Amino acid sequence: MKFYTQQDNWDIVENNVPVFFVQDAAQFPDLVHANKPEPHNEVPMAQTAHNNAWNNFYNEKSTSHMIMWIDEALKLSGQDPDFHRKAINSGAHPKWTLSVQVLPESRQHEFDFHILDATRVWPVEEVPLGDIGELVLNKVVDEYFPETEQVAFCTSYIVPGIGFGDDPLLIGRNFSYLDTQLSRLGTNWEELRINRSVCPVLNNTRDGQGRHTITKSKVNYYPNRFEVPKLAAGGDDLRRHGATNKPGENFIEMAKVVEEQGYVDYPETLPAPTFKTHTKGPKFAEYRNQVELFSNSLSGYEKEHVIEAFSFELDHCDEPIVYERMVLD
């Protein structure tokens, strides 16, 4: 989702399942490679019913929780992949409640799993969901290519008051998403209409393929001899050059008052000795507990559903070393 706020864009990049495949962004390229089409049979992209995908699931133990949710929407997406668009056009707008789980820093060590492990869920019994709004799909795009193909999301695009944790998966995503947009849409992808901020933004970006904005400035660096960036007299000036859609209420000069009244990064408490290393703690190595909890919580019908999903996928694997290990493990 992309929120066009008066303090720049805020991108929330989610999944439609509670947990992710891997714990660390360093593992992600192998996951993608394993799920790509096999060269000799061209299994469609993102389909998992083949040898490479399930061989990866077996070897990468952290995926154990994720594959319990696999195949959940297979029938619906196969029979009517356009069901959301049809529902919107008919006035039956799909809705979801947007909720968050908030955990005080003082409770971060209370659990038998690492709270920043993306392959785990926070038990709602211990960390209740707090509803903050409702998401409604009430409009389809007018033109698919400029509004869907060219839209770009980055996990690193946040607004004041929101920061980043030490989630090893998120750290890697913050780099890879921006890098992907640069190679996919070009260095000026932020100037495309669907990605453009609704509030005026002034930065030191210049030139490059697909440049739209004409910036009347002698310098493109800071600090400089002019002390602060000199902004246009009003939002209309920038809008005329394609930099924004409307003036915005927070169109202000870079000055001391901004620093004094703005948000600051949260001062994280570091354990002794006070240094940080990008390594995963011992709790990341435990991967069975939540799988067992999830399995034990299922009804008989739900367990049959999971078994059928596994059977469907593994039935398409023709190498014994793949399906035998999954069944016997």
pLDDT tens string 48-98: 677 777 777 777 766 665 665 555 555 555 566 677 788 899 998 988 899
CB within 8 Å of 211: residues ≥ 6 apart = 188, 191
Determine the pLDDT at residue 250: 38
Token readout for 110 is: 């209370």
pLDDT at 160 over 50: yes
Q: Are 22 and 119 in contact (CB under 8 A)?
A: yes
DSSP three-state, residue 51: helix
Could you tell me what percentage of the chain is helix, strand and coil, using 3-state DSSP and rounding each to the nearest 5?
Answer: 35, 5, 55
| Residue 66, burial from CB neighbour count under 10 angstroms (0-12, 13-18, 19+) | buried
List Cα–Cα distances, 138 to 86, 90, 91, 199, 267, in angstroms.
11, 10, 8, 24, 40
Residue 29 has pLDDT above 50, yes or no: yes
pLDDT value at residue 274: 56
Per-residue model confidence as pLDDT tens digits over 223-277? 777 665 554 444 444 444 444 443 333 333 333 334 444 556 666 666 665 556 6
Specify the range with the lowest mean pLDDT, choosing from 187-191, 215-219, 287-291: 215-219
Average pLDDT over every residue of 112-139: 91
Determine the pLDDT at residue 260.
Answer: 46
Q: Is 10 helix (H, G, I), strand (E, B) or coil?
A: strand
Position 113 pLDDT exceeds 80: yes
Percent of the chain's residues with pLDDT above 90: 21
Gap between the Cα atoms of 83 and 90, Å rounded:
11
Name the residue with higher pLDDT: 85 or 146. Answer: 146
Give the confidence band of 152 by pLDDT, cuts at 50, 70, 90.
Answer: very high
What architecture is the 2-22+60-195+272-297 domain classified under in CATH? Beta Barrel (2.40)
Q: Which residue has the tokens 């600090």?
A: 223
